[in-house]
Chain A
Amino acid sequence: MPQSYTITFKSEAEMPDITMSLGTTLYNKTGTWRYMRPLYRDKTSPCNAACPAGEDIVDYLRMVTHGDLDQAQQRILAENPLIGVCGRVCPHPCESECNRAKLGGAIAIHVMERFVAGLPGRRVLPLADKVAPPGAQVAVIGSGPSGLSCAYQLARRGYRVTVFEGLPVAGGMLRVGIPSYRLPRDVLDAEIAAIQDLGVEIRTGMRLGDNLAFDDLRQFGAVFLAVGQHRSRKLNVPGEAADGVLPGLDFLRRVNMQERVAIGARVAVVGGGNTAMDAARCALRLGARQVLVLYRRSRHEMPAIDEEIEEAEHEGVKIEYLTAPVEILATAGKVTGLRCVRMNLSDPDASGRRRPVPVQGSEYTLAVDTVIPALGQEADLAFLDAGIRAADGLIAIDRAAATSLPRVFAGGDAATGAGTVAYAIGSGKRAALAIDRYLRGLDTQDLPPLGEHVRVAARDVDSEIVTFEQINTAYFQEEPRTLQPQRPAAERVRDFREVNQGFSEGEAMGEARRCFSCGTCNHCDTCWLYCPDVCVQRCDPASPRPPGPSRSAYEFNYDYCKGCGVCAEECPREAIVMEEELKWKR
């Protein structure tokens, strides 16, 4: 490398026409001027932080924008084998946190997931390293989302898994709780079949505590309890035993098992959750002329998914707020009416929602012939071994999903009460990771604490969650959220075929491109274009990535980077940080 030197020209003839150095300037390592250093450092997107199933949403959306659809599907499947299910029924807490909400509406993440799930071809689930000890076997009790998730994560690591299901069909609440107009059965069947393709055996009609005992499970190195919550809470009002009272979950189970269910012309559904919405909409589809949902709080407190409420109303379901039943009226043992009382909202209770209190003297009577209580559900834990501790109606577990009985683990609604498919999938995954460690004699307590989401293919990213204020909105236009088409309400109430129709490929690509890619480098080249010192260099994709927390496609040439920070300032998605140089000199 040449050194700096001084030239004095004797005449103009010796000089170049322009003022330029005759020698190269490479000797001048302008990087020594720097006191701040840019670093590629991916951060956590709000959607990823919010996903109970631990999906890497921002990464798979990036893959979609690059046209790598199969890769995107495999990326989600590593965390969740039921993406066709979640793309339809998940309450998508990711979308509630999406930074795009402030610039045209949250990304329709659940519809994107459904699109990626629906790629043509037979689903092949991604395998993981075969770490299972030879002959290791695991029993999973319950074939709902939690049990299936656990079975999948174990099977892809080489475990032999047997799933015992009490019902004659697999799928748990997905099969008997969620109506087919929200989740078509072929979608569910295909996703379960893909898990079975990994060697998972599902034995239906085997109910623990009934025709299956804990003693029968001795051959298994570990047992995972994922029995769900299948018992409807009672109304606890007089008249509940009358003919015409159909507990919500029983009603849905019979409808979903295609049993003949006698329904009256005038139906009252009591409750404000998704079970209430499902029951009301099923009642319409079974021919009820009038379906009324009674909820004791206001719309604001209603726990059902917003879209479900809107779809129910479009179909003709009426919702009456701030009212609660006090007595079911019956004549000759058959329901004839419902006595209700108006409610007022008082101060917030332990759940943070305002507590409803009855308004004195406001009682009134509705003429109905069917009452469907849908006040929530609880687990039937009568089967539990005495050594397994329960608390508040839930199986007690630690961060490794372990119960108080050695080798027995638990998850899903029966242990968490969370009540969503995505949470159940995350819970089953946590148990699988714990069981894998347990059976290999490793520490099981290094899993994230309960409440944090578990990932099996985590990228190395900072835990800092990117806020809207950190997004460089100069690079984004306000663009409306893409809506998926729906069948017209008048048509869809006549059958149980699917309501939502999903995205076309064009719609999906357009929606993916709206994503800010919060905190995740998506190779947009902005830093590369802006660097005034030509210090941002594209990495050869084939070469090993530089060490550190970034998975970036670029690297800085620190010999010449002056630390001006233009790259970090311009980065549209907060994937570059500036750090004091002193930290690096030490």
Chain B
Amino acid sequence: MEKVIMGNHAVAYGVQLARAQVIAAYPITPQTQVVEMLSELCADGRLKATFIKVESEHSVMAATVGASMAGARAFTATSSHGLALMHEVLHWAAGGRLPIVMANINRALGPGWNVWTEQTDSLAQRDTGWLQFYCETNQEVLDTVIQAYRIAETVLLPVMIVLDAFVLSHTEEPVNIPDQEAVDGFLPPYEPRYKLQPGDPHAFYGLVAPEHFMELRFKMQRDMERAVGVSQQVGADFGRAFGRAYDVLEKYRMDGAELVLLTSGSIVGTSRVVVDELRAEGHKVGLLKMRMFRPFPFDAVRAALCGAKKVAVIDRNISFGHGGIWASEVKAALYGSTCQPVIYPFIIGLGGRDVTPQSVRGIFQHTLEHDAPTEQILWMEVKR
């Protein structure tokens, strides 16, 4: 069924189709409609789930962890300061090996107070053990929610689905909403390997001495690494079931591209238009859409960028004292590789400043005209 819906409702439809059983959430702009629609679905019985109102995001994640431990398919959504408040329990969810799925609507952290899009909130949680997927369209948002549960329940790690505030969350796009039957075929009910049962009590998450702790972390990292291949497999299976295949990244017009634009989220859509124009003008330019951030798909990135001379990384985020986060990850991925394109680390669009086709064209132009980046960070459109 085709519907014109906003990104936040695409999240909610995905959760409904995935038959989540427990939803704990606390509203925050720009996530609120996700929670509103889910609470309505729960209230009128269209979604047979327990909706838990909680007093803060820290408790939201705690409740979600509890639900998942009890064997329920659990979901939540948040943004920015809410995600920051969850931080401690994000570790708990991952270390507890709980296949929780969460949507995070990218929003800048204050102060200055700001409700618009920026990736720093989610990227700052990169070391918590959560998988992260960044979405370009509302269709991808819905599809990724469904895939996320299958991935999470396979590798027993939680998954964060990330979408831009307002540009996706509040903007309506045509979205194909799959049939419940088809989703049920793709995503079977969750069969927890371990769960809390009052009748058969075990001690969970107790003290682990140094002689065993490292092994637990070793296993977690190994499953993280496994998650790349699992996600590729699930994305391909999704394509067979629904006609829309996904990979951990997407190469767009990369054939013979000497200059590659690399970006994520909704800037990808803008960049597609610019790349088409530049190709028409005769430039050898391509686009690499990054979908998966954690685990970082090293091999796929290396393979995709081999052959490019210049790579312009467009970051809508900042790690203070370092730079754009995707740029540093890409540089790290290419370290020791035989292919060594020049990396141009652009930062643009913080706090929701619009990134227009002209902005992307400016990035292309700067990269084209310089043999090497002129600064540690290439700030775009900063009034200085």
Contact = CB atoms under 8 A, between A and B. Distances in A.
Interface of A: 8-9, 11-12, 15-26, 534
Contacts of B240: none
6 contacts: A8-B211, A9-B215, A15-B219, A20-B203, A20-B204, A25-B202
Contacts of A534: 198, 201
Nearest to A9: B212
Nearest to B218: A12
B65 to A, nearest CB: 12
A18 B215 contact: no
Contacts of B216: 12, 15, 17-19
Interface of B, secondary structure class, is loop
A24 B199 CA distance: 10
A181 B283 CA distance: 99
Contacts of A15: 212, 215-216, 219
B215 A20 contact: no
Contacts of B202: 20-25
A20 B219 contact: no
A25 B203 contact: yes
A18 B218 contact: no
A168 B200 CA distance: 74
Contacts of A18: 95-97, 194, 204-205, 216
B193 interface: yes
A16 B212 CA distance: 11
A24 B200 contact: yes
Interface residues of B, number: 22
Contacts, number: 53
B53 to A, nearest CB: 15
A26 B201 CA distance: 7
A17 B219 contact: yes
Given A9-B215, A15-B215, A21 B203 contact: yes
Given A12-B215, A18-B97, A24 B201 contact: yes
Nearest to A28: B203
Interchain residue pairs A-B with the least CB separation, the first 6: A12-B215, A21-B203, A18-B97, A21-B202, A534-B198, A20-B204
Interface centre among B95, B193, B212, B218, by most chain A C-beta atoms within 10 angstroms, is B212
Given A15-B216, A20-B206, 20 more contacts: A12-B219, A15-B219, A17-B193, A17-B216, A17-B219, A18-B95, A18-B96, A18-B194, A18-B204, A19-B208, A19-B216, A20-B202, A20-B205, A22-B202, A24-B200, A24-B201, A24-B202, A25-B203, A534-B198, A534-B201
B27 to A, nearest CB: 22
Given A12-B218, A12-B219, A17 B212 contact: no
A12 B211 CA distance: 11
Interface in B170-198: 193-194, 198
A25 B204 CA distance: 10
B156 interface: yes
Contacts of B96: 18
B63 to A, nearest CB: 13
B214 to A, nearest CB: 9
Contacts of A24: 200-202
Nearest to A537: B198
Contacts of B212: 9, 15
B257 to A, nearest CB: 41
Contacts of B205: 18-20
B97 A17 contact: yes
Interface in B248-301: none
B156 A17 contact: yes
Nearest to B198: A534
Contacts of B204: 18-21
A6 B347 CA distance: 54
B193 to A, nearest CB: 7
A21 to B, nearest CB: 4
Contacts of B200: 24
Contacts of A22: 202
Interface string B91-126: 000011100000000000000000000000000000
Contacts of A20: 194, 202-206
A19 B92 CA distance: 11
Contacts of A17: 97, 156, 193-194, 216, 219, 223
Nearest to A534: B198
Nearest to A23: B202
Contacts of B95: 18
Contacts of B193: 17
Contacts of B219: 12, 15, 17
A21 B205 CA distance: 9
A23 B202 CA distance: 7
A87 B211 CA distance: 74
A534 B200 CA distance: 12
Interface in B206-254: 206, 208, 211-212, 215-216, 218-219, 223
A535 to B, nearest CB: 10
A12 B213 CA distance: 10
Interface centre among A11, A20, A22, by most chain B C-beta atoms within 10 angstroms, is A20
A12 B215 CA distance: 5
Contacts of B208: 19
B206 A19 contact: yes
A534 B70 CA distance: 13
A23 B218 CA distance: 24
Contacts of A9: 212, 215
B140 to A, nearest CB: 30
Given A8-B211, A9-B212, A12-B215, A25 B201 contact: yes
